[in-house]
């Protein structure tokens, strides 16, 4: 019996959300009186994998097959299932990312496991019951879910668990092979197109987001959003009408029909806060709203607010951030 | 091409969520149920592809009789026929088994659905169906084009997108901006009444998860307003009080 953690890597580095997942898995292992092993996917350097010791991981399995650098659902599923078998994993923890949930849902069937996605807290294990808390109703509620089957798979929502950092601990990196066949690569991507990102972090991973709505009036004013984002080290986002009229690319649009984000800080500039927009951002830890209309619904969901003109307020905020350092 | 589109019946986005006194279920009183918004992308794209390539679009819902108005709505938008698996959709695994059972007998080329439902927010059913049928799943897809038995899809990944090519049969979960969802017109509404809606009973094993309690998030403290002239103060509060920068 053990806990298996699925760690996603990119350009040699472990993704931030996977550091959270590793920490989550290590704490589950401790509660169950067992150890946490990681299986890494994507392009990883040996050093970054060894440093997973800081998150409480003892051992990391890594298959160096070049075909695994990009996400392939069939192959990743087979690899992780093989690792779970070898480690006799009772609990598998992965990120609530497109990769994590795509693989997690296939694994759940293959391993006859109970799967919970969108999980926001460590599990409660009492009286033989294994219960997790997860977000439901587009962030408007939470549910406690019992994972009934012997094997459990948990997809952890980003920014909901603090990553541990026990400096100096290293994990032992072992090579691992799942004997993959060509057929396992039927859904391999033909081409991968990365988009330019403000602040260097993909929006779903970002822990700070500066977002603009129709109140920004036009794409020529977006430098105000970008300058504040840059000063904060934040990613940029927008409301749906903004991406619909091509002021900003589609992948920046957050909300019910866009990307769901759960950063520590979400700053909304000239966004009214319609319920469909809130659905994608309402689990942010701290919400700041800047809007010239004091009646804008977003103020009801906000922690901090400024009733004012974005063209006047944003430069002041950027300056104040610069003054901090 | 035979398209199978899975739709779920969810509370309208603007619904104020409340629960039954034991906190075990949604309080349905006064709640309007709609086709899951993500599923509308799947439905519309399937209809567009049918118009382009020929074939049929079948809609499938796992639900009790009260979901039929939304099944009829899908028929009004342009699906040809419908199947309702007569059961309460208890969890993703249960629903996936029902979809896979229908698909196994139906010889569908493409199984489409939304990336997740806006009530359960599971993002699981597509992968489970793919695994149960032993066929690829592409999730979440922003584009789906077909030529013969092969499909070209754009799949969203963190920070970018991938171009994926798969052969039928496959499962695809859909999201923006795949198409512009259609709304029913008068003619559609009239013809929907006479389109076949078959009801079948559930098969397979029970659920793998069980919701024991729902809760609302803690109430916000209320917004703290900062004067616009003094905007910089916000940054100091974010650092010293909220501790997020
Ligand atoms: C099925 C469906 C799905 C949807 N999905 C999404 C989604 O995923 N994401 C999403 O965002 N929306 C979504 N929407 C749209 C949503 O309902 C709103 O229309 C949208 O969020 C409004 O965007 P906005 O706030 O940028 O624009 P507006 O509603 O036009 O608001 C602009 C705001 O800017 C303020 N403003 C104007 N000028 C200034 C200024 N100089 N300084 C400060 N403030 C100013 C105004 O007071 C106003 O509050 C969806 C709608 C539907 C029906």
Residue A197, domain member (yes or no):
no
Whether residue A32 is found in the same domain as residue A158: yes
- Domain assignment present for residue A62? The answer is yes
Note whether A267 and A199 are within 8 A (CB).
no
As a whole number, mean pLDDT of residues A77-84 equals 98
Q: Note whether A84 and A111 are same-domain residues.
A: yes
Residue that terminates a domain, selected from A153, A185, A217: A185
**Total tally of structural domains belonging to chain A:** 2
Q: Residues A49, A92: one domain? A: yes
Gap from A31 CA to chain B (nearest CA, Å): 21
Residues A218, A294 within the same domain: yes
Residue A176 Cα to ligand 1 midpoint, Å, equals 49
Helix (H) or strand (E) holding A151: strand A151-156
Report the pLDDT value the prediction gives residue B157, as an integer from 0 to 100.
87
CA A212 to ligand 1 centroid distance, Å: 9
> Is residue A312 in some structural domain?
yes
CB proximity under 8 Å: B 88-147 to A: 92-93, 96, 118-128, 130-132, 136-140, 142
Q: Do the Cβ atoms of A202 and B159 come within 8 Å?
A: yes
- pLDDT tens digits along A262-276: 999 999 999 999 999
User: What's residue B136's pLDDT?
Assistant: 94
Instruction: Answer whether A319 contacts ligand 1 (Cβ < 6 A).
Output: no
Residue A65: CB partners within 8 Å, gap ≥ 6?
A: A177, A180
Q: Give the domain extent around A34.
A: 2-185
Does A178 lie in the same domain as A53? yes
* Separation between Cα atoms, residue B242 and residue B245, nearest integer Å: 8
pLDDT tier at A195, thresholds 50, 70, 90: confident
3-state SS class at A180: coil
User: A241 CB less than 6 Å from ligand 1?
Assistant: yes
Residue B130, min C-alpha distance to chain A (Å): 7
The verdict on A165 and A259 lying in the same domain is no
> pLDDT, tens digit, for every residue of A269-321?
999 999 999 999 999 999 999 999 999 999 999 999 999 999 999 999 999 99
A246 and A295 within one domain = yes
Domain-embedded: residue A193: no
Annotated binding site of A for FAD: 214, 270-277, 291
DSSP per-residue string spanning chain B: -EEEEE--EEE-TTPPP-B-TTSSSB--TTPPEEE-HHHHHHHHHHHHHHHHH--EEEEEEEE-GGGHHHHHHHHHHT-SEEEEEES---SHHHHHHHHHHHHHHHT-SEEEEESS-TTT----HHHHHHHHHT--EEEEEEEEEEETTEEEEEEEETTEEEEEEEESSEEEEE-TTS-------HHHHHHHTTS-EEEEE--S---SEEEEEEEPPPPP--PEE--GGGTHHHHHHHHHTS---
In order of their start, the domains of chain B are 2-217 (3.40.50.620)
Q: Given pLDDT bands bounded at 50, 70 and 90, which one contains residue A201? A: confident
A168 burial via Cβ count (<10 Å: 0-12, 13-18, 19+): exposed
Show which of A129, A150, A185 is a domain's final residue: A185
- Chain-wide mean pLDDT for chain A? 95
Question: Do A209 and A291 fall within a single domain?
Answer: yes
Residue A145 lies in a domain: yes
Residue A317, chain B, CB below 8 Å: the answer is yes
User: Nearest to residue B25, comparing CAs of A143, A130, A129?
Assistant: A143
CB of A255 within 6 A of ligand 1: the answer is yes
Asked, for residue A238, whether it belongs to a domain, the answer is: yes
A158 in a structural domain = yes
Name the token pair of B33.
Answer: 């149920």
Q: What CATH number does the domain containing A63 carry?
A: 3.40.50.620
Do A170 and A42 lie in a common domain? yes
Distance A246 CA to ligand 1 centre (A): 14
- Say if A224 is an interface residue toward chain B (CB within 8 Å): no
| First-to-final CA distance of chain A | 48
Q: Do A134 and A52 reside in the same domain of the chain?
A: yes
What value, to the nearest 5°, has the Cα angle with vertex B90 and ends B85 and B95?
45
A161 and A78 in a common domain: yes
Q: Report the pLDDT value the prediction gives residue B219, as an integer from 0 to 100.
A: 86
Question: Is there a single domain that holds both residue A49 and residue A161?
Answer: yes
Determine, for residues B37 and A256 on separate chains, whether the beta-carbon distance falls below 8 Å: yes
CATH code of A207's domain? 3.40.50.1220
Q: How far is the CA of A221 from the centre of ligand 1 (A)?
A: 17
**Residue numbers in chain B where pLDDT is lower than 50:** none
Structural domain ending residue among the three candidates A185, A211, A233: A185
Residue range A152-179, pLDDT digits in tens: 999 999 999 999 999 889 999 999 999 9
Paired with A173 in beta bridges are A60
Q: Is the per-residue pLDDT at A184 higher than 80?
A: yes
pLDDT band at A198 (very low <50, low <70, confident <90, very high): low
Cα distance between residue A3 and residue A28, in whole Å: 7
Query: Which pLDDT band holds residue A196 (cuts at 50, 70, 90)?
Result: confident
Percentage of chain A modeled with pLDDT above 90: 88
Question: What is the structure's pLDDT at A199?
Answer: 64
Least confident of A132-136, A195-199, B150-154: A195-199
User: For ligand 1, is residue A256 a contact (CB within 6 Å)?
Assistant: yes
Look at residue A70 and tell me if it is in a domain.
yes
């Amino acid at each position: 019996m053990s806990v298996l953690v699925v760690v996603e890597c990119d350009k040699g580095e472990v993704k931030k959300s996977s550091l959270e997942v590793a920490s989550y898995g290590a704490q589950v292992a401790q509660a169950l009186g067992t150890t946490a092993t990681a299986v890494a996917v994507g392009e990883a350097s040996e050093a970054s994998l060894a440093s997973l010791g800081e998150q409480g991981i003892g051992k990391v399995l890594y298959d160096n097959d070049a075909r695994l650098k990009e996400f392939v659902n069939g192959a990743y599923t087979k690899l992780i299932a093989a690792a779970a078998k070898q480690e006799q994993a009772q609990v598998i923890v992965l990120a609530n990312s497109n990769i994590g949930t795509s693989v997690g849902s296939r694994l759940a069937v293959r391993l006859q496991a109970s799967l919970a996605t969108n999980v926001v807290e460590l599990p409660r294990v009492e009286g033989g019951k294994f219960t997790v808390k997860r977000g439901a109703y587009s962030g408007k509620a939470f549910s406690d879910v019992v994972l009934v089957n012997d094997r459990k798979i948990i997809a952890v929502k980003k920014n909901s668990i603090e990553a541990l950092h026990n400096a100096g601990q290293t994990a032992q990196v072992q090579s691992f092979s799942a004997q993959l066949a060509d057929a396992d690569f039927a859904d391999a991507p033909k081409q991968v197109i990365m988009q330019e990102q403000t602040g260097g972090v993909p929006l779903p991973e970002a822990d700070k987001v500066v977002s603009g709505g129709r109140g920004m009036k036009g794409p020529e004013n977006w430098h105000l959003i970008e300058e504040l984002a840059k000063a904060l080290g934040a990613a940029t986002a927008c409301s749906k009408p903004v991406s619909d009229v091509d002021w900003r690319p589609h992948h920046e649009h957050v909300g019910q029909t866009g990307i769901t984000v759960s950063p520590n800080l979400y700053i909304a500039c000239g966004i009214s806060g319609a319920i469909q927009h809130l659905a994608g951002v309402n689990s942010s830890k701290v919400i700041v709203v800047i809007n010239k209309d004091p009646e804008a619904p977003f103020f009801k969901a906000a922690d901090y607010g400024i009733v004012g003109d974005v063209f006047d307020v944003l430069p002041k905020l950027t300056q104040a951030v610069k003054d901090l350092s | 091409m035979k398209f199978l589109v899975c739709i779920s019946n969810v509370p309208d986005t603007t619904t104020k969520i409340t629960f039954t006194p034991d906190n075990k279920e949604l309080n349905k009183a006064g709640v309007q149920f709609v086709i899951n918004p993500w599923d509308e992308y799947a439905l519309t794209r399937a209809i567009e592809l049918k118009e382009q390539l020929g074939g049929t679009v079948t809609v499938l819902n796992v639900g009790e009789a009260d979901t039929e108005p939304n099944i009829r709505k899908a028929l009004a938008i342009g699906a040809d026929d419908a199947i309702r698996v007569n059961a309460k959709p208890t969890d993703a695994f249960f629903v996936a088994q029902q979809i896979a059972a229908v698909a196994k007998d139906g010889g569908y080329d493409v199984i489409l659905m939304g990336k997740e439902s806006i009530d359960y927010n599971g993002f699981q059913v597509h992968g489970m169906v793919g695994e149960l049928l032993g066929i690829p799943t592409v999730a979440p897809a922003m584009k789906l084009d077909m030529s013969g038995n092969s499909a070209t899809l754009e799949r969203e990944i963190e920070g970018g997108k991938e171009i994926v090519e798969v052969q039928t049969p496959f499962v695809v979960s859909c999201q923006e901006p795949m198409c512009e969802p259609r709304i029913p017109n008068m003619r559609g509404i009239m013809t929907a009444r006479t389109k076949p809606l078959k009801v079948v009973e559930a098969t397979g094993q029970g659920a793998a998860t069980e919701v024991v309690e729902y809760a609302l998030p803690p109430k916000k403290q209320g917004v703290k307003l900062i004067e616009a002239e003094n905007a910089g103060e916000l940054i100091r509060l974010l650092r010293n009080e909220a501790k997020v920068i």
